[in-house]
Chain A
Amino acid sequence: MNQLNYIIKRILQIIPVLFLTTVLIFLMIHLIPGDPARLMLGEKATDSAVAALREKMGLNEPLTTQYFTYLKGLLTFDLGTSITYQRPVSQMLLERIPVTLSLTLLSTLLSLLISFPLGYLAGIHKDGPGDQIVRGSALVAIAMPSFWVALLLMLLFSVHLRWLPAGGWGSTPLQHLQGLILPALTQAIATSAILIRNIRNSVVEISVMDYVDFARSKGISERTVRDNHILRNTLISTVTLLSMRIAYMLGGSVILETIYSLPGIGKLMVDSIFGRDYVVVQALVFLFAFLVLVINLLTDILYSVLDPRVRF
């Protein structure tokens, strides 16, 4: 099977998964107790006002009708109108997706920036003092919950040093960047800790492989051996781990965007769940599921680029 066929097959596999996701999301939202119309109008609203709003929102329709309306909306990117904010959900998502993706991208870049040099050097200098310090630090970083790291970083960089804002998105590109640095660093600390341990162990294992010894015995320079034989092979397992972490970071944005007050899809998810804004929750859970599936697909494709042995 050639690569293109494999990719097409993988994309087709995504469709039933997404369909199942829509069914699960719809049922979860509609079968739990609580009336969105009552919640929206508040406890002091009259029963007639609640009934009028239920009718307007289509909540009196049979569940199957409501489901197909939802499905049709998904296919046409008409995701409905937010109950809480009375705005088209598609418009809200388009405003917010860049925030979350920027955060995830910056977090990923920072993670790589931190983890590769440290993990690689720790592996090369196995059991040396540097290796011990890096491994110990990584262990501590893994043990620290993100919300706590976030508070510590804000205390240091915002309250005491006043170098960076304690959350917020601002209104200019520079302010957006400033607002992203601390949340991205928070994500990166946790992700780097995991990546460092993985890279270090891979380097240690690969360094004693026969093909590395063979390369050295051929007289290839140490730098070339490290770059082409050790580092490249380290990338394969790192890519797997990183793709899982990127999916995790997308989910983690729910917490970090709330703490750092970033108007991304994670924060929207939290607000919408508490506000029983089921229209937005449906769209967001679907979006998260879609993004995770896409990341997995891209990871599989990347394997074949990094490792010529991988064939489909």
Chain B
Amino acid sequence: MKKPLVVLVVLLGLGVVGFAQGSQESKQSAQATGTPKNSDILVVGRLNDAAYLDPNAPTVGGAEVNVTQQIYEGLVTVSDDGTTIIPCLASDWTISDDGLTYTFNLVPGVKFSDGTPVTGQDWEWSLLRARDLETSAYRFIAEAIQDVKATDNQVVITLKYPWAPFLADLCCFNMVVGSKAHYDAVGEEAYLNDPIGTGPYMLKEWKKENYILLEANPYYRVAGLPKTKQLKFQVISDDNTRMMQLQAGQVDICGDVPFTLVKPLESDKNVTVQIFPSTQIRYLILNTTKTPFSDQKVRQALVHGIDKQEISDLVAGEFGAPVAALVSEAEGKWFNSQLKVADYDPELCKKMLQDAGYTLPVPFTISIRSGSAIYEQIATLLKSQLDKAGFDVTIEQLERASISAKYTSLSHQATILQWIDDITDPSGITGWTVDYDQCDSWYTGLNDVALDELNTAANREMDETKRVQMYYDIQQKVYDNANVIPLFRNGFAYAYDKNVKGLYVSPFSVVFYKNVIKNVK
């Protein structure tokens, strides 16, 4: 009995001493050298692992995109603030007068991370695959493409119809060039997990559900980049643990910091907290195929029963703000700033319901995804506010698959969802909200044909001034329809080691790490 216990105590002691010794050595090494030096590795702590590393895979979300964007590149990209389209693998481009032909001149000498040159065939295959791959979650981004013809120096894309957001669509994470030869060698299944691109990093090791390790691409077209040799995405499923690992120096950067943890982190002198502008907005979605929200008067009354300021303050604190317009303020010129948040007036809400012939209270159920603290918080606040405004709200919590099945079959009454733009253009959110064929007008079941046609026309209008006005009109109409009610916007909260420099998060929740360094003295 005694021997195993002694062995156990010795092992535990070794563990503690080993870890403490490691920390001490890193401190001493930094003090001994004294000269500024960059760390060879950046560790990013995040909640989930990627499902695949192909941007045209069946599952693509933040966990996937933030890795694939380091590995793949497209013809164009967006500026750091997300408002301007800038060259990437295309040095310049022209658009034909009829808006149907886009001609891109390529940056010469670009190679994949395996050292093979990028060819015209790679471009043709990549862009047509983005359009045609049946299981791709984002093939709709490329659906306007009629054909792609490319040489090693030029890519010519013809469209089926004029499509104003096309340049913005080309900035999307799935409109990138991959190696056809590599795909042919490994096959479809393996390709999903085995990326080879032209980006600053390449995949070195993927320990699924644990970490993804990227290494600098030795053939990257820009000398001196990336500035850090290795990039590790470490999965840490619990928010509190993630933040403590940051404070303990185990990880360098954490995104998706819960707003409730921002203040405690700000008081840590070794951690920097930064809020980046985002296109993230939370919405209340009302099903117009079911009572009581089949009646527009009820929907419009409900708007006055919601105190968006209170919801924003309590959920996102100083990092949020109530919103009235469908399109995010971070989209710049496309945002309709003329729309104002409706006054919170529960008595007016009650009166409007009674005028519409309803007996108070009007019952309805908000179905939300379980396990999300933010959604639970929003639903609780909505219930508290709307119960005072003539409604009788029940909150129903369902796990992810069940809630998805519920609203995709339009069997809910109301739910809470969010949106983050993928591209620097409003066509994503407006299409999702008013195009009945896409998703029953964002699971509201409202088939407003005139609005749908206006959206289609806006997508094909090449005169930008006219187009901006059309999107203003769309936002006004959604505001009046009150089937999708924007609640509040919030920034992206990131916390990182104070020695990390050069971090920038786009309004689309994408981070490009090629310029990020960690100074270790």
Residue in B8, B209, B247, B250 whose beta carbon sits within 8 Å of that of A271 in the complex: B209
In the complex formed, the residue of A with least CB distance to B11 is A177
For residue B169, give the distance in angstroms from its CB to the closest CB of chain A. 14
The reply to whether A260 and B241 form a contact with Cβ atoms under 8 Å apart is yes
The reply to whether B241 and A174 form a contact with Cβ atoms under 8 Å apart is no
A44 interface residue per 8 A CB criterion: yes
Q: Report A-chain residues with C-beta under 8 Å of the C-beta of B406.
A: 33
Interface centre among B5, B135, B402 (most CB of A within 10 A): B135
In the complex formed, the residue of A with least CB distance to B369 is A274
In the complex formed, the residue of B with least CB distance to A177 is B15
A168 interface residue per 8 A CB criterion: yes
The reply to whether A164 and B19 form a contact with Cβ atoms under 8 Å apart is yes
In the complex formed, the residue of A with least CB distance to B401 is A34
A268 interface residue per 8 A CB criterion: yes
A244 interface residue per 8 A CB criterion: no
Q: Report A-chain residues with C-beta under 8 Å of the C-beta of B12.
A: 177, 181
Q: CA A45 – CA B139 in complex, angstroms?
A: 9
In the complex formed, the residue of B with least CB distance to A56 is B135
Which residues of A from 23 to 54 have beta carbons under 8 Å from B?
32-36, 38-46, 48-49, 52-53
Contact with A along B47-67 (1 / 0, CB 8 A): 000011000001111000000
The reply to whether A49 and B134 form a contact with Cβ atoms under 8 Å apart is yes
A72 interface residue per 8 A CB criterion: no
The reply to whether A259 and B238 form a contact with Cβ atoms under 8 Å apart is yes
* A154-B241, A276-B401 known; A166 vs B8 contact (CB < 8 Å): no
Q: Report B-chain residues with C-beta under 8 Å of the C-beta of A92.
A: 208
Q: Report B-chain residues with C-beta under 8 Å of the C-beta of A120.
A: none
B128 interface residue per 8 A CB criterion: no
A273 interface residue per 8 A CB criterion: yes
Residue in A40, A165, A259 whose beta carbon sits within 8 Å of that of B248 in the complex: A165
Q: CA A307 – CA B51 in complex, angstroms?
A: 52
Q: CA A251 – CA B207 in complex, angstroms?
A: 25
The reply to whether B399 and A261 form a contact with Cβ atoms under 8 Å apart is no
For residue B92, give the distance in angstroms from its CB to the closest CB of chain A. 32
Segment of B229-237, B278-286, B306-314, B497-505 in the binding face: B229-237
For residue A202, give the distance in angstroms from its CB to the closest CB of chain B. 18
Residue in B240, B400, B405 whose beta carbon sits within 8 Å of that of A259 in the complex: B240
Q: Report A-chain residues with C-beta under 8 Å of the C-beta of B237.
A: 258, 261, 267, 270-271
Q: CA A259 – CA B208 in complex, angstroms?
A: 18
Contact with B along A95-128 (1 / 0, CB 8 A): 0000000000010011001000000000000000
Interface centre among B192, B240, B439 (most CB of A within 10 A): B240
A216 interface residue per 8 A CB criterion: no
Q: CA A45 – CA B59 in complex, angstroms?
A: 9
* A41-B59, A53-B135 known; A178 vs B245 contact (CB < 8 Å): no
* A40-B59, A53-B58, A169-B210 known; A84 vs B405 contact (CB < 8 Å): no
* A109-B8, A168-B250, A263-B210 known; A163 vs B18 contact (CB < 8 Å): no
The reply to whether B19 and A38 form a contact with Cβ atoms under 8 Å apart is no
A86 interface residue per 8 A CB criterion: yes
A293 interface residue per 8 A CB criterion: no
A209 interface residue per 8 A CB criterion: no
B363 interface residue per 8 A CB criterion: no
For residue A197, give the distance in angstroms from its CB to the closest CB of chain B. 21
Residue in B14, B61, B240 whose beta carbon sits within 8 Å of that of A177 in the complex: B14
Q: Report B-chain residues with C-beta under 8 Å of the C-beta of A106.
A: 8
Tally of chain B residues near chain A (CB < 8 A): 55
The reply to whether A174 and B209 form a contact with Cβ atoms under 8 Å apart is no
Q: Report B-chain residues with C-beta under 8 Å of the C-beta of A180.
A: 15
For residue A97, give the distance in angstroms from its CB to the closest CB of chain B. 14
Which residues of B from 105 to 143 have beta carbons under 8 Å from A?
134-135, 137-140
* A38-B408, A42-B60, A84-B51 known; A276 vs B4 contact (CB < 8 Å): no
Q: Report A-chain residues with C-beta under 8 Å of the C-beta of B9.
A: 113
B404 interface residue per 8 A CB criterion: yes
In the complex formed, the residue of B with least CB distance to A52 is B134
Q: Report B-chain residues with C-beta under 8 Å of the C-beta of A151.
A: 240, 244
Q: Report B-chain residues with C-beta under 8 Å of the C-beta of A113.
A: 5, 8-9
The reply to whether A44 and B138 form a contact with Cβ atoms under 8 Å apart is yes
The reply to whether B244 and A154 form a contact with Cβ atoms under 8 Å apart is yes
In the complex formed, the residue of A with least CB distance to B238 is A259
Q: Report A-chain residues with C-beta under 8 Å of the C-beta of B61.
A: 42
Q: CA A161 – CA B17 in complex, angstroms?
A: 12
In the complex formed, the residue of A with least CB distance to B417 is A43
Q: Report B-chain residues with C-beta under 8 Å of the C-beta of A48.
A: 134
Q: CA A49 – CA B57 in complex, angstroms?
A: 12
The reply to whether B14 and A174 form a contact with Cβ atoms under 8 Å apart is yes
The reply to whether A39 and B401 form a contact with Cβ atoms under 8 Å apart is yes
Contact with A along B415-456 (1 / 0, CB 8 A): 000000000000000000000000100000000000000000
Q: Report B-chain residues with C-beta under 8 Å of the C-beta of A52.
A: 134-135
* A159-B247, A169-B210 known; A174 vs B238 contact (CB < 8 Å): no
Q: Report A-chain residues with C-beta under 8 Å of the C-beta of B332.
A: none
Residue in A38, A45, A46, A110 whose beta carbon sits within 8 Å of that of B405 in the complex: A38
Q: CA A216 – CA B432 in complex, angstroms?
A: 85
Q: CA A92 – CA B49 in complex, angstroms?
A: 15
* A39-B400, A177-B11, A181-B16 known; A168 vs B236 contact (CB < 8 Å): yes
* A166-B248, A167-B236 known; A32 vs B402 contact (CB < 8 Å): yes
Q: CA A258 – CA B209 in complex, angstroms?
A: 12
Beyond A39-B401, A158-B245, A164-B19, 18 extra complex contacts between A and B, CB < 8 Å? A32-B401, A35-B404, A44-B137, A46-B134, A86-B51, A154-B244, A158-B248, A161-B20, A166-B247, A168-B245, A169-B210, A181-B15, A258-B238, A260-B238, A260-B241, A261-B245, A267-B237, A276-B400
